[in-house]
């Protein structure tokens, strides 16, 4: 099943935690390119960890960070209404608590 998405589209809910989504204003081709870069960097990081190659792991971590920032998942928020970034916060607390409690099926989420 797909992760839950908050009603405002800002976050995915994974295992009861909020994770910022990519900036919806990104053109689809740019989002797809950045997502491919992110996935490649994650694969490279895993391979470097398995090899015990610290330099390659750090390089891949930097690439993951750069891709996530370009996607809008990290760094300055992509919305402009002054709402704070609640990434990693529990969905059952804070401004999404009522919405989260009202969702009958948390799509396999552990709350």
89 falls within a domain:
yes
Domain hosting 106: range is 1-21+84-111
Q: Report the domain count for the chain.
A: 2
pLDDT-derived band at 47 (thresholds 50, 70, 90) equals: very high
Structure tokens at 49: 């960890």
Over range 83-110, report the average pLDDT.
Answer: 86
Q: What order of strands is seen across the sheet that includes strand 4-5? A: 4-5, 11-14, 17-20
66 falls within a domain:
yes
Identify whether residues 35 and 59 lie together within a single domain: yes
Cβ–Cβ under 8 Å, residues 63 and 69: no
Identify whether residues 68 and 31 lie together within a single domain: yes
Identify whether residues 34 and 13 lie together within a single domain: no
46 falls within a domain:
yes
Q: What is the pTM of this model?
A: 0.85
pLDDT digits (tens, 9 = 90+) for 51-88: 999 999 999 999 999 999 999 999 999 999 999 999 99
Q: What are phi and psi of 47, to 5 degrees?
A: -65, -40
**Residue 107 pLDDT:** 54
Which residue do the tokens 């295992």 mark?
15
Give CA–CA dist 51/58, Å, rounded: 13
3 falls within a domain:
yes
């Amino acid at each position: 099943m797909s992760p839950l998405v908050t009603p405002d589209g800002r976050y995915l809910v994974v295992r009861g935690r909020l994770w910022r989504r990519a900036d919806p204003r990104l053109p689809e081709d740019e989002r797809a390119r950045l997502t491919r870069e992110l996935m490649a960097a994650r694969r490279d990081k895993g391979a470097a960890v398995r090899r015990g190659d610290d330099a390659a792991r750090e390089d891949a971590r930097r690439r993951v960070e750069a891709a996530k920032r370009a996607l809008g998942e990290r760094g300055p928020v992509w919305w402009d209404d002054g709402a704070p970034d609640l990434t990693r916060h529990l969905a059952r607390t804070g401004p999404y608590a009522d919405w989260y409690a009202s969702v009958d099926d948390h799509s396999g989420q552990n709350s």
